[in-house]
Chains A and B, each alone.
Chain A
Amino acid sequence: MTLFKKIQSLIVQFFDYLEREESIKPIAFFRVNLGIFAIIKIAVLYDYLEDVYGQYGYIQWAISKAGLYNFLPHIGDVVLLINNYFAITASQTLYLMFWVYISFLLMLTVGFLSRLNAIVCFILHLMWVDTGAGFMYGVDVFTQMAFFYLIFMPCGRYFSLDVLLRISRPQLFSKSAGLTRKLVQIQMMLVYCSSGIEKGFGVQWRNGEAMWRSLMLPSFQQFDMSWLSGFPALMYMFGWSIILIELLYPLLMSLPQWRILGLILIILMHLSIGVFLGMWLFAYIMIILSVFAFGYEALKDIRNKLAQGLPKSNPQTHNSIIK
């Protein structure tokens, strides 16, 4: 009975921590950045829309639709629906949906009917991913995940048209802001830690070959990095660095004394993926997610450190910085 009560008390404490009231500003950061990111993500493929998402693209709709659950959206369904009322081709519908999606993303970015637009963008993004399933990779996974969490956030309560037009009541702190951001924190910790463990199981990551191979793959090669073959120790070191950064992500992000370093390392790691592998969009979404999840705490840590560095004889300045 005592053990049961202890467990119960731990669970209550955990949920009390999760449901603590917190600033809504990181949510606004997340909404704006996710909106801008999603616009860039689809816009860079504008010239290839037919190739990636078209009815007769590299993976035809008949194939991409066949592998889906019935409840999942697909542009083919939209074409069938629209054709009941208007005589437009599949290709025209594709471009129509592109502009419809861009419009909803713009409304989400500026915070107009934010919650509704978050739901619509979640569904529309899923539709693009399902339609171009053959071309799907990590960036789609994390964008969809980000939209999923955004749905539950009070995303229109700060720095939005909703507030300006008085559609939503302005708010600076809320329990749901704290809860949803902590859920993203847990998700990101699980993502990185599991990725670190899986890399740790790979011989290639432990002996540096994975780093070498990533840089040498013709599909990703941005620069001639073959000179690195003369420095195998460097590859070994980079390989282990990636494993450790990912594996220790939960720890780095939980400890205030390590959080700033952890966040910088994660940002540097993803920027390197952008620079050396050309996966800029993947780097961007991962940076958004980590900065959103832990950036607010990291900023607090920086302020605390700055405050500690100030002379103790000037408490007024000290307090103003903490605020």
Chain B
Amino acid sequence: MKTGIRILIVLHFFLVFLTICHLHKYINSPVFIAANDAYSALTYTNRCFGFFAPEVGNDLVIHMTMSNKTKSIPFEIPKDNFEMRTRLYSLTGHFAEDNDQSTMDLFARSWALKCLNQYPDMRKVNVVVLQNNIPSIREYAQGKRITQDTIYTTDVELNENQ
């Protein structure tokens, strides 16, 4: 029993250590990859913990405008709560995580569907994701300010029969 527990502890920290050191990427065994991923998905202990590392990226802002044949109105994402603000930052982070177009499209369609469910009289949603470009300390001191670039835009429209 005691030996069994000791072996489990060693195995646990072996997985934690491998992942933290990014060494798990070099192990190609499908069995190991599946086991390591499943363990991570369950316990959250064997993950990479470099938050805001190695760099702090630019944050993203979501703008959605809903429209039908007669009007066009902006959709306000509620963020009047400190936790919701942080979670929205995470949401946009996951959106642009791998810079993968299909992931971005999936997220954007999901956001648009949320708008259309909330406002059933609307037919179309224009999703725009802007990036806040933060100037460096020196640039800021020289007068440069935060600027915004559009990094993603799409229209999600309901079919006529929907």
Contacts and interface: CB of A to CB of B under 8 A. Distances in A.
Contact of A213 (B43, B92, B114, B134): B134
B47 A141 contact: yes
A301 interface: no
Interface residues of B, number: 59
Nearest to B117: A56
B81 interface: yes
Nearest to B8: A152
Given A58-B111, A134-B107, A195-B51, A219 B56 contact: no
Contacts of B146: 216, 218
B90 A210 contact: no
Given A194-B20, A210-B52, A210-B56, A63 B106 contact: yes
A143 B47 CA distance: 13
A232 B136 CA distance: 10
B132 A217 contact: yes
A136 B49 CA distance: 14
Contact of B54 (A18, A134, A202, A282): A202
Interface residues of A, number: 72
Nearest to B38: A69
A52 B84 CA distance: 9
A15 B6 contact: yes
A36 B141 CA distance: 44
A230 B50 contact: no
B137 interface: yes
A194 B50 contact: yes
A135 B61 CA distance: 15
Interface string A274-293: 00011111100000000000
Interface in A268-322: 277-282
B119 interface: no
B86 A187 contact: no
**Interface majority SS on A: helix, strand, loop or mixed?**
helix
Interface in B106-162: 106-107, 110-111, 113-114, 117, 132, 134, 136-138, 140-141, 146
A137 B53 contact: no
Contacts of A95: none
A213 B56 contact: yes
A224 to B, nearest CB: 12
Contacts of A139: 86
Contact of A194 (B49, B77, B93, B140): B49
A13 interface: no
Contacts of A71: 38, 42
B136 A209 contact: yes
A145 B44 contact: yes
B90 A235 contact: no
Contacts of A205: 53-55
Interface stretch (A20-28, A42-50, A102-110): A42-50
Interface string A226-242: 10111010010000000
Interface in B54-85: 54-56, 58-59, 61, 77-78, 81-85
5 nearest CB pairs, A to B: A202-B54, A198-B50, A198-B53, A137-B90, A144-B44
Given A59-B91, A63-B106, A133-B94, 17 more contacts: A15-B6, A135-B87, A135-B91, A136-B90, A137-B89, A141-B49, A142-B44, A183-B9, A190-B16, A191-B49, A198-B53, A202-B54, A205-B53, A213-B56, A218-B146, A219-B59, A279-B86
12 contacts: A59-B110, A72-B42, A126-B42, A135-B91, A136-B94, A137-B87, A187-B16, A191-B20, A199-B53, A209-B137, A218-B59, A219-B132
Interface of A: 15, 18, 41, 44-45, 47-48, 51-52, 56-60, 63, 68-69, 71-72, 126, 133-142, 144-145, 148, 183, 186-187, 190-192, 194-195, 197-199, 201-205, 208-210, 212-214, 216-220, 226, 228-230, 232, 235, 277-282
